[in-house]
Structure 1
Amino acid sequence: MEKELVKEIAELRKLLHEKENKLAALRREKEILQSYGLSNNEVCKYSRQILIPEINIKGQVKIKNSSVLIVGAGGLGCPSALYLAGAGVGCIGIVDYDDVEVNNLHRQLLFTEDNIGTPKVDAAAEFITRLNRNVKIIPYKLQLSSSNALQVIENYDIVLDCTDNVATRYLLNDACVLSGKPLVSGSALKFEGQLTVYNYKGPCYRCIFPTPPAPYTVTNCGDGGVVGAAVGTIGLLQALEALKIILEMPGVLTRRLLLFDGTETTFRNIKLRPKNLNCAICGNNRTIHKLIDYEQFCGAKANDKNPDLKILRDDERVTVEDYHKMYNSQLTPHILIDVRSPEEFEICQIKNSINVPFTEIEKDGCLALIEAEVNKRQQEDDIVEVFVLCRRGNDSQNAVKRLQKYFDNPNVKIRDIEGGIHAWSRKFDPLFPIY
């Protein structure tokens, strides 16, 4: 009996000693946290970057206390968010209006096939939280506009432009200038990418591009294509520039434009012009004091989803239903010109269509090919019907304008097919992929 009592007392003393040790460890951790702003776990988690002299404990605390807003959870935003969260940025906001689609997955690696149909911001927040629970993630499922941009941006230290359209670039630039935030701007197409930092000891976007380009001259990755690793490279570099700004390091990519060529694996720096003293938003006598209508300013939508140009009259266009009737009845002999790229034409094509890529359509060889087809048809009919088809009905309209100038003949009637190959697929041939 006495031996059992002694043994029980020993075990209680052992438990008490263990609890005292744990309590002492918690006290020491609290002291470290109060002294340095980091817990033992955080020191361990970020130790490999804390060892870098440019970062150290003080820099890691700066990272922890910082906030970054990522606008666009796509090929740029996903890797940016991933590495900022891994670095320990305290608060990351993610803005995107879209849901996950299957064509996102080759480059937007925060998402899986299980996420298809769910909001991008929610899927991204879930993934990043699993990576680092110390980071606060704030998802914004909305499209930034003049009415909400300032209210969102004012809560963050740095903004990353990870979008794919000109109107939002101007919106973010102006909002960042008005709120005094640095803007890390990236873009990528095919194998290439660009990166710079605006409104940080240098010019803003308007200083370099005071007027927007014509809408039909701008190509996004949905139309031109993009290699996932190429856009990912730019997204990673956006995260790196944000960290350098947080750490107040020299060498931030301001007043310079980084050009990346993935085919040759080369990086080049181009010197940008200095801050424009006559800039409409950041100059000495600025004329813009509040956010404007950027879709009107750019003549294009502030998103990269299915741009819908309208540059032809109604009588210069034909619906896909009306064309389908003509195609099936064969009562209206005609020429069908498909102005998609050869790669797109290889994916799917309407029988007897002629592939003349939009980018090549004004070249002598292509015009000669079309003219030969027109001349052949004119031997049988006085009026020659020419229909132009593209992916969604945008390039086809521009192609019609160019061909009208060349043929300038009332007997050659040139029209485009509204909605393009996408409309044809939805209405009449579901075996054609909507890509």
Structure 2
Amino acid sequence: MIDHERYSRQLVLKGFGAIAQNKLINSSILVVGAGGLGCPIIQYLAAAGIGTIGIVDNDTISLSNLHRQILFTSEDLGQPKVKVAAERLRLMNPEISIVEHPFRLNKGNIFSVIEHYDIVIDGTDNFDSRYLINDACAFLQKPLIFAAVSGFEGQLAIFNVKDKNNIATNYRDIFPIPPAPGEIQNCAENGILGVLPGIIGTMAAAEAIKLIAGVGQPLINTLLHYNLLNQTQYTLNISVGNDYVLPKSKADFLLMEDNQSHFIAPAYEEIDLTQMLLLRKQDLALLIDVREKHEFPILDQDVFLQVPMSEFNTFMQNNIDAESIVLLCQHGIRSVAAAELLQEKYGDKKKIYSLKGGIAKWRNHFLKR
């Protein structure tokens, strides 16, 4: 039953009306990620009257989230994102159903979650999740709306929906192979202007509404690229690629998970600040800062050798005399990637460490001068 007053501005909209509104009310959308992209997505979907909205996220709210995740407030710090988001959406529109999935998707649970929804929207910020969601949706031919942001730019596309030529593409048709760890920085490393995920997230919600209601021209097999700095955007047509292989059955999917779960333990170790200081005091390790030269705080170059990640492959051509190496960066992500590179070169010939959590976690120590 349509609430005519709640949706009155949509009901009187030429080319939309009651037929389109009924389609929204009878639809279900799963939004993966309740962060910078997910917050505007779920707010506008709820306000528009999507009948069932599922939210997947296993994270809690932190202070650094608030400049872009404006569904949350300072009073919500430490609370699960899914729980708080669901409460706010129910207040916004008590006539729809909000389903909470307070966990991380993996190959063992993704099918049981996404197969209950009409559309999936990927608002995640890491490549492991992005490829997992894509592969599962491609296998099930579940419509997938892809949204991503970095720095001042954003991307948006619709996958697994056939165009007028009866062709459907997926994320691997653009990027068949995931990037190497540390090759592309995430928002924590690269930064993000808070309004950008709001813009792209709102666009993603609009694409979902268009797709369900059957209005306009959704971005099927089309990648939209948006630049906030000059307010420009362009689109690229996506064609089917042939340099990747998707699983042919759910059993194959689970087998992939089993194979990946039997990995070799890394030959490097993540350590805390106390362990790093002990190694430094005993003069047992070479300490390498893999951040870029413009990043702050600037560390004592008499203690830390600065080798930016962008120059690390060149640095790797030299032999390191030290038997132990400690790597650090802003958040402990790039340092792990550097540790993996060193492990590949030296194997168990050297002891390789990464400062867990990076400079940001131990900020008070590094700010002492």
Q: TM-score range by the shorter chain?
A: 0.7 to 0.9
Corresponding residue SS for 2:189: helix
Tell me, yes or no, if structure 1 residue 52 matches structure 2 residue 42: no
Cα deviations by residue, 1:282-321 (Å, 9 ceiling, x for unpaired): xxxx73444346678889x9xxxxxxx976557xx98754
Tell me, yes or no, if structure 1 residue 137 matches structure 2 residue 98: yes
| 1:326-341 equivalent positions in 2, closer than 5 A | 326-328=279-281, 332=283, 336-341=287-292
Please name the residue that 2:66 is paired with. 105
C-alpha spacing 1:268/1:188, structure 2 compared with 1 (3 Å): same
**d(CA) in 1 for partners of 2:103, 2:111:** 14
Tell me, yes or no, if structure 1 residue 114 matches structure 2 residue 78: no
- Aligned-pair distance for 1:199? 0.3
CA RMSD of aligned residues (A): 3.7
Cα deviations by residue, 1:7-61 (Å, 9 ceiling, x for unpaired): xxxxxxxxxxxxxxxxxxxxxxxxxxxxxx42xxx22222222222221111111
Do the aligned residues in 2 keep the contact of 1:75 with 1:107 (CA within 8 Å)?
Answer: yes
How many residues are treated as equivalent by the alignment? 354
**d(CA) in 1 for partners of 2:274, 2:55:** 41
Q: What is the TM-score of this pair, normalised by structure 2? A: 0.81
- Aligned-pair distance for 1:391? 3.2
Q: What is the TM-score of this pair, normalised by structure 1? A: 0.70
C-alpha spacing 1:214/1:77, structure 2 compared with 1 (3 Å): same
**d(CA) in 2 for partners of 1:58, 1:287:** 37
Q: 1:390 aligns with which of 329, 332, 346?
A: 329
C-alpha spacing 1:351/1:359, structure 2 compared with 1 (3 Å): closer
Do the aligned residues in 1 keep the contact of 2:29 with 2:54 (CA within 8 Å)?
Answer: yes
Please name the residue that 2:358 is paired with. 422
Tell me, yes or no, if structure 1 residue 260 matches structure 2 residue 226: yes
Corresponding residue SS for 1:216: coil
Instruction: Name the amino acid aligned to 1:62.
Output: K
Residue ranges of structure 1 left out of the alignment (5+ in a row):
1-36, 302-308, 375-381
Residue ranges of structure 2 left out of the alignment (5+ in a row):
163-167
- Aligned-pair distance for 1:400? 6.5
C-alpha spacing 1:112/1:80, structure 2 compared with 1 (3 Å): same
**d(CA) in 2 for partners of 1:169, 1:392:** 21
Do the aligned residues in 1 keep the contact of 2:47 with 2:92 (CA within 8 Å)?
Answer: yes
Please name the residue that 1:25 is paired with. none
Please name the residue that 1:79 is paired with. 40
**Rg larger in structure:** 1
Cα deviations by residue, 1:61-91 (Å, 9 ceiling, x for unpaired): 1112211111111111100001111111111
Q: 2:213 aligns with which of 247, 253, 259?
A: 247
Do the aligned residues in 2 keep the contact of 1:215 with 1:298 (CA within 8 Å)?
Answer: no
Cα deviations by residue, 1:327-367 (Å, 9 ceiling, x for unpaired): 446xx398644222345423x6457435443224567xxx6
Do the aligned residues in 2 keep the contact of 1:146 with 1:293 (CA within 8 Å)?
Answer: no
Please name the residue that 1:160 is paired with. 121
C-alpha spacing 1:319/1:414, structure 2 compared with 1 (3 Å): farther
Q: Which has the higher helix share?
A: 1
